[in-house]
């Protein structure tokens, strides 16, 4: 398979199912931002972290790829003429969300109570988590916009919302793991 096809040289690309759209199409923006998020998750996973976190991050990467595939498939192309689903993969499901919630709860057990908003930083790995969290929030905003214009599986929005929470709590956990200090936001008073 050749990497370059030249079919996108004029600013168009194909969705799953063959529909041609401009590369700035909202659906492309949605799954492209999911791809960006997946890359940042990979960056976190490639750092020196515990094996459970690495395992969970790999699962998240696989689920993000699934979400990208779901978003790349317009609703009118989801079902083939034969009646079968175009995507022959396990779609995102409630267990995916529950896993994130369980991991958040486990990490929270060992974290100090939050008394202030927290500024991103304190350690490079923590900053990577906050960058991923911000990209996750952006992907959620774009996907929400897409859901206003087209039908998408609502569980995608739930998953992205929970994933951003997971990344925030992971940043806090890694702050402790790396013996760094949380940077509290303390606004200056006039």
Q: What is the pLDDT of residue 78?
A: 66
In this predicted structure, the answer to whether residue 43 has a pLDDT above a threshold of 80 is yes
Domain span at residue 122 reads 14-75+86-107+115-182
* The token pair that represents 189 in the structure block: 């008073």
Question: Residue range 44-52: average pLDDT?
Answer: 97
What pLDDT does residue 76 have? 72
Query: Is residue 6 situated within a structural domain?
Result: no
Token digits of residue 163: 């994933």
Residue 14 has pLDDT above 90, yes or no: no
What is the Rg, in whole angstroms, of the alpha carbon atoms belonging to the chain? Answer: 19
Percent share of the chain, pLDDT over 70:
89
44: domain CATH number? Answer: 1.20.1200.10
Q: Which two tokens stand for residue 112?
A: 């100090």
Within-domain flag for 67: yes
Domain count, the chain: 1
- Assigned domain for 120 exists: yes
| Domain assignment of residue 9, yes or no | no
Summary mean pLDDT of the chain: 90
Q: pLDDT tens digits, residue range 133-174?
A: 999 999 999 999 999 999 899 999 999 999 999 999 999 999
Residue 121 belongs to a domain: yes
What is the residue-wise DSSP string for 99-154? HHHHHHHHHHHTSPPP-S-EES-SSHHHHHHHHHHHHHHHHHHHHHHHHHHS---H
Single pTM value for the model: 0.90
The token pair that represents 104 in the structure block: 């958040």
> pLDDT: is 135 or 187 the higher one?
135
- pLDDT tens digits along 100-146: 999 999 999 999 998 899 999 999 999 999 999 999 999 999 999 99
pLDDT digits 0-9 by tens, 49-93: 999 999 999 999 999 999 998 998 877 766 667 777 767 778 899
Q: Do the domain assignments include residue 188?
A: no
- Is the residue at 69 inside a domain? yes
Assigned token pair, 55: 């395992």
Q: What letter does residue 1 receive in the DSSP assignment?
A: -
Within a domain: residue 189? no
Do residues 175 and 123 lie in contact, with contact meaning Cβ atoms separated by under 8 Å? yes
d(CA 31, CA 27): 6
pLDDT of residue 11: 74
CB within 8 Å of 67: residues ≥ 6 apart: 31, 34, 92, 156, 159, 160
Query: Angle CA(158)–CA(167)–CA(55) in degrees, nearest 5?
Result: 95
């Amino acid at each position: 398979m050749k990497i370059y096809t030249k079919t996108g040289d004029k600013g168009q690309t194909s969705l799953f199912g063959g529909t041609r759209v401009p590369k700035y199409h909202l659906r492309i923006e949605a799954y492209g931002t999911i791809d960006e998020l997946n890359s940042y998750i990979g960056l976190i996973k490639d750092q020196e972290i515990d094996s459970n976190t690495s395992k969970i991050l790999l699962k998240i990467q696989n689920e993000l790829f699934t979400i990208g595939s779901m978003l790349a498939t317009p609703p009118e192309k989801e079902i083939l003429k034969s009646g079968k689903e175009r995507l022959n993969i396990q779609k995102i499901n409630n267990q995916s969300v529950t896993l994130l919630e369980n991991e958040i709860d486990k990490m929270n057990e060992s974290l100090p109570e939050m008394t202030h908003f927290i500024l991103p930083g304190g350690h490079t790995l923590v900053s990577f988590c906050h960058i991923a969290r911000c990209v996750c929030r952006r992907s959620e905003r774009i996907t929400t916009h897409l859901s206003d214009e087209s039908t998408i599986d609502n569980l995608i929005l739930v998953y992205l919302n929970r994933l951003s929470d997971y990344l925030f709590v992971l940043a806090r956990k890694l702050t402790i793991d790396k013996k760094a200090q949380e940077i509290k936001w303390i606004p200056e008073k006039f």
